[in-house]
Amino acid sequence: MAKAVRFNATGGPEVLYLEEVEVGQPGPGEVRVRHVAVGLNYADTYFRNGTYPVPLPNGIGVEAAGVVVALGEGVTGLALGDRVTYTGFLNTLGAYSTERVISAAPLIKLPETIAFETAAAMTMRGLTSAYLMRRIHDFRAGDTVLLHAAAGGVGLIVSQWAKLLGLTVIGTVSTAAKAEMAMAHGCDHVINYSTEDVAKRVREITGGRGVDVVFDSVGKNTFMSSLDSLRKRGLMVCVGTASGPIPPFDPVLLAMKGSLFLTRPALADYIADPAEKADLAGELFDHVGAGRIKIEINQYYPLADAVQAHRDLESRKTTGSSIFVI
C-alpha cells in the first residue's frame, strides 16, 4: 500500500491527513511513479483552503520527482526505470504521496545531473522562473526589476537568472536574515518592506525613474506600491496573491500611473505546448546542472508532517524551497 496526504474539506492546515491508499495499475496513456521527493508550493495552500476549488475528498500537491515503475498501454518516450519529474495543476494534483498513477503527458525526463530532491524543489519554481525570465518580457542587459519575496523559492531562482541576463535586481524581504540570503543570490539592492517604503526606496535607487518590470507574488498588500515603483509604460507581473486577492480596480488607474501594462500569467499556459515546455526545462536543467543557478532547499519534511509544513509556509517561516522526502 502507498501513503498519500488528502483532504475532505477546505480550511486550514489541520484538514490535511495521511492515509494508506491502493494505487492500482496504470491505464492507457498513464504511468505509475514511485516518488523519491515531493515539492511543497504555496499554490498547494490554495487547493487546501478552497481558493482553487476541486472535488472533495482529494489529494494535494502538484509537483514531485521519482522513478517510472509501470507503463500503461500506448505510452511512448518513457521506459521502466526512467528518472522523471513533473509539475502542473489539476492534471497533477495528488503529488503528496509515496507512489501514484499519473498521465504520462506532464512527465519530464530528468537528467542525471539533477538530483531527485533538487527536481522536486525546483520543477514548478524553476519553470515559473524560466517563463518569467524568457517569455514575459524582452529583457535587455541593464534593465531593472523589482522582485517581491526575493528570498522565496521562485525569488532565489529569478534573481540568479536575472543576473545571468545582466539585469539589476531590487528585492523585497521581511527580515534581515532574508535580506542577506537575497543579496547572496544576486539581488543588487534589498528593501525590507517591514520597515521601509518600497516605492519610495525604488525611486531613490533608480534615480526617480522606476523599474522596468515588477514581479509581485504577494498580491493585495503590495499591489499599489508595485504600480508606484514602475517607470512609465512599465510592466506589472502578478504571479501570486500570498497576502490575499487584489481588489477590483478601474483600468484607468494604469493610465494615470504612466500607461502601465499588467499581466496575471499562469505556468500552465507556458508549458501546455510540449515543445515549449521542453525548451524551458532544458534551459533550466542546463543552468542548474552547470551550477550557474543554485537551488536552495532549506526545509525538509516527511509526508506525515504536511500540516506543520503548511503552517510554516503560510507563516513565512520558510526560505528558499521546501520538500517532502519519501
Please name the residue that has the C-alpha cell 542587459: 141
**DSSP SS3 for 39:** strand
Distances (CA, A) of 14 to 7, 44, 59: 9, 14, 14
Residue 93: what pLDDT?
A: 96
Q: Residue 4 corresponds to which cell in the numbers above?
A: 498519500
- Give me the domains of the chain, ranges plus CATH numbers: 2-122+272-325 (3.90.180.10), 141-264 (3.40.50.720)
Residues pairing with 147 in the sheet: 171, 215
Q: Residue 120 corresponds to which cell in the numbers above?
A: 522536486
- The answer to whether 96 and 120 are in contact (CB under 8 A) is no
Residue 155: what pLDDT?
A: 93
What span, in angstroms and rounded, lies between the C-alpha atoms of 131 and 47?
23
pTM of this prediction? 0.90
The 8-class DSSP code of residue 319 comes to -
One-letter amino acid of 194:
S
Phi, psi of 254 (to 5 degrees): -65, -40
- The answer to whether 187 and 209 are in contact (CB under 8 A) is no
What span, in angstroms and rounded, lies between the C-alpha atoms of 223 and 238?
9
Distances (CA, A) of 104 to 67, 68, 85, 107, 280: 12, 10, 11, 6, 18
Q: Return the CA Rg of the chain.
A: 20
Please name the residue that has the C-alpha cell 526606496: 201
What span, in angstroms and rounded, lies between the C-alpha atoms of 80 and 265?
35
Residue 28: what pLDDT?
A: 98
CA nearest 295: which of 51, 110, 124, 46?
A: 124
CA nearest 38: which of 101, 111, 105, 122?
A: 122
Per-residue pLDDT of the chain (326 residues; tens, 9 = 90+): 999 999 999 999 999 999 999 999 999 999 999 999 999 998 899 999 999 999 999 999 999 999 999 999 999 999 999 999 999 888 899 999 999 999 999 999 999 999 999 999 999 999 999 999 999 999 999 999 999 999 988 999 999 999 999 999 999 998 999 999 999 999 999 999 889 999 999 999 999 999 999 999 999 999 999 999 999 999 999 998 888 889 999 999 999 999 999 999 999 999 999 999 999 999 999 999 999 999 989 999 999 999 999 999 999 888 888 999 99
Residue 257: what pLDDT?
A: 97
Q: Convert 235-246 to b/e letters by CB count within 10 Å (16 or more is b).
A: bbbbbbbbeeeb
Distances (CA, A) of 161 to 145, 147, 150: 12, 12, 12
What span, in angstroms and rounded, lies between the C-alpha atoms of 221 and 202?
17
Residue 107: what pLDDT?
A: 97
